[in-house]
C-alpha cells in the first residue's frame, strides 16, 4: 500500500477514462437500474439510521461542513422515494447525477489521497456511507462499494466499526445495490436541523435481524513509513425471535492512517 505519487495530467486522464467507461456500463451493461420515485412511503420499515450533520474535525474549517449540508440536501432530494423493484439495481451516481454549480452544489469537504480539500459537491460521502451501512441491515445485496483508502480522522465519537462506509466520486466510484428479493424496497433520505436521516422501507415486514461487526482489526507499521489499518467486516443473521441463522462475510478493509495511532481523542477535534 505504498502511496503512489501521480502527476495532475495522469490523474485527469485517469478520471476521464473511468468516467467514460462508467457511462458505457450504464448504457450497455445490461442492468435494470431503478428510476421510479414514489412520494407515499412503502408500509414497512426495515432499517432507519441517522448521522450528525456537523462535526468538529481537526484542521477542517466549519464553512466546509455548513456547505456540505447544502450539497446533502440537493442529493437527498434526488434519492428520496426511489423504488427498487425486484431485479433492479440502485446506482448512487446514476440517480444523483453529476454535482455541479449549475445545479446548486457548492464547495464542501473532499478527501483526496488522504488530504482534506474543498471541491464542488463535497460532503456527499456522508450520504453514501449512510446508505451502505443501512443496506447491510437488509436483505438487499451490495454489488459495488469502494472502501476508503485512507483513514483520515481518529476514532473520537465513532459509533460504527472502522471501514463501514463507502467512498464515492462521480461517477466511477459508485455505490450499487441490487434487489434480489421478491419484494420492492424504497429508500427515504432527508435532513433535519441536526441530522441526515435514512430509511429502507419495503412492501412486507422484515423477517431477519442483522448484527454487523468487525474482526481481525489491526494497526501495523508499514514498510514505507506510517501505519496501515485493516479489518474484516461480517454480519450475523438472526430470526426476529433471536435464533442464529448465519455469519456472513461483508468486506475486507485496508487503509493508510493519516494520523498517529496513539493520538488522543481530544486532539482530533
- Grouping H, G, I as helix, E, B as strand and the rest as coil, residue 137 is coil
Q: How confident is the model at residue 267 (pLDDT cuts 50, 70, 90)?
A: very low
Which contacts of 73-79 are long-range, i.e. CB under 8 A and separated by 24 or more positions?
A: 73/191, 74/99, 74/103, 74/104, 74/105, 75/99, 75/124, 75/127, 76/127, 76/189, 76/190, 76/191, 76/196, 79/127, 79/131, 79/187, 79/189
Residue 15: predicted pLDDT:
87
Q: How confident is the model at residue 5 (pLDDT cuts 50, 70, 90)?
A: low
d(CA 15, CA 21): 10
d(CA 148, CA 114): 9
d(CA 8, CA 13): 9
d(CA 90, CA 32): 9
- In the predicted structure, residue 263 carries a pLDDT above the cut 60: no
Residue 45: predicted pLDDT:
98
Contacts of 53 (CB under 8 A, 6+ apart): 65, 68, 69, 72, 191, 194, 195, 196
- Grouping H, G, I as helix, E, B as strand and the rest as coil, residue 188 is strand
> Which residue do the cell numbers 441517522 mark?
50
Residue 262: predicted pLDDT:
56
d(CA 43, CA 251): 31
Query: Which of 214, 247, 209, 218 is CA-nearest to residue 233?
Result: 214
- In the predicted structure, residue 265 carries a pLDDT above the cut 60: no
What percent of the chain has pLDDT above 90? 71
Angle at 111 between CA 109 and CA 116, to 5 degrees: 65
Among the ranges 108-117, 196-205, 215-224, which has the highest mean pLDDT value?
Answer: 196-205
| Mean pLDDT to the nearest integer, 166-188 | 96
- In the predicted structure, residue 60 carries a pLDDT above the cut 80: no
Q: How confident is the model at residue 99 (pLDDT cuts 50, 70, 90)?
A: very high
Contacts of 38 (CB under 8 A, 6+ apart): 81, 83, 186
Contacts of 217 (CB under 8 A, 6+ apart): 162, 229, 230, 231
Q: How confident is the model at residue 222 (pLDDT cuts 50, 70, 90)?
A: confident
Amino acid at each position: 500500500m505504498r502511496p503512489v505519487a501521480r502527476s495532475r495530467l495522469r490523474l485527469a486522464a485517469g478520471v476521464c477514462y473511468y468516467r467514460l467507461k462508467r457511462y458505457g456500463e450504464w448504457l450497455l451493461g445490461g442492468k435494470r437500474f431503478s428510476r421510479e420515485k414514489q412520494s407515499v412511503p412503502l408500509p414497512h420499515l426495515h432499517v432507519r439510521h441517522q448521522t450528525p450533520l456537523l462535526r468538529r474535525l481537526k484542521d477542517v474549517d466549519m464553512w466546509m461542513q455548513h456547505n456540505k449540508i447544502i450539497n446533502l440536501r440537493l442529493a437527498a432530494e434526488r434519492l428520496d422515494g426511489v423504488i427498487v423493484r425486484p431485479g433492479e439495481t440502485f446506482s448512487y451516481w446514476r440517480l444523483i447525477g453529476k454535482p455541479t454549480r449549475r445545479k446548486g452544489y457548492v464547495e464542501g469537504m473532499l478527501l483526496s489521497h488522504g488530504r482534506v480539500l474543498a471541491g464542488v459537491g463535497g460532503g456527499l460521502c456522508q450520504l453514501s456511507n449512510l446508505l451502505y451501512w443501512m443496506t447491510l441491515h437488509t436483505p438487499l445485496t451490495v454489488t459495488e462499494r469502494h472502501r476508503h483508502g485512507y483513514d483520515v480522522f481518529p476514532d473520537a465519537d465513532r459509533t460504527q466499526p472502522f471501514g463501514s462506509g463507502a467512498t464515492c466520486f462521480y461517477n466511477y466510484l459508485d455505490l450499487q445495490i441490487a434487489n434480489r428479493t421478491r419484494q420492492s424496497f424504497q429508500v427515504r433520505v432527508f435532513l433535519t436541523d441536526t441530522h441526515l436521516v435514512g430509511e429502507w422501507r419495503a412492501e412486507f415486514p422484515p423477517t431477519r435481524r442483522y448484527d454487523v461487526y468487525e474482526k481481525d482489526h489491526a494497526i501495523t507499521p508499514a514498510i514505507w513509513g506510517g501505519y496501515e489499518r485493516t479489518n474484516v467486516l461480517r454480519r450475523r443473521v438472526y430470526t426476529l425471535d433471536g435464533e442464529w441463522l448465519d455469519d456472513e462475510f461483508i468486506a475486507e478493509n485496508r487503509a493508510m492512517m493519516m494520523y498517529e495511532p496513539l493520538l488522543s481523542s481530544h486532539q482530533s477535534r
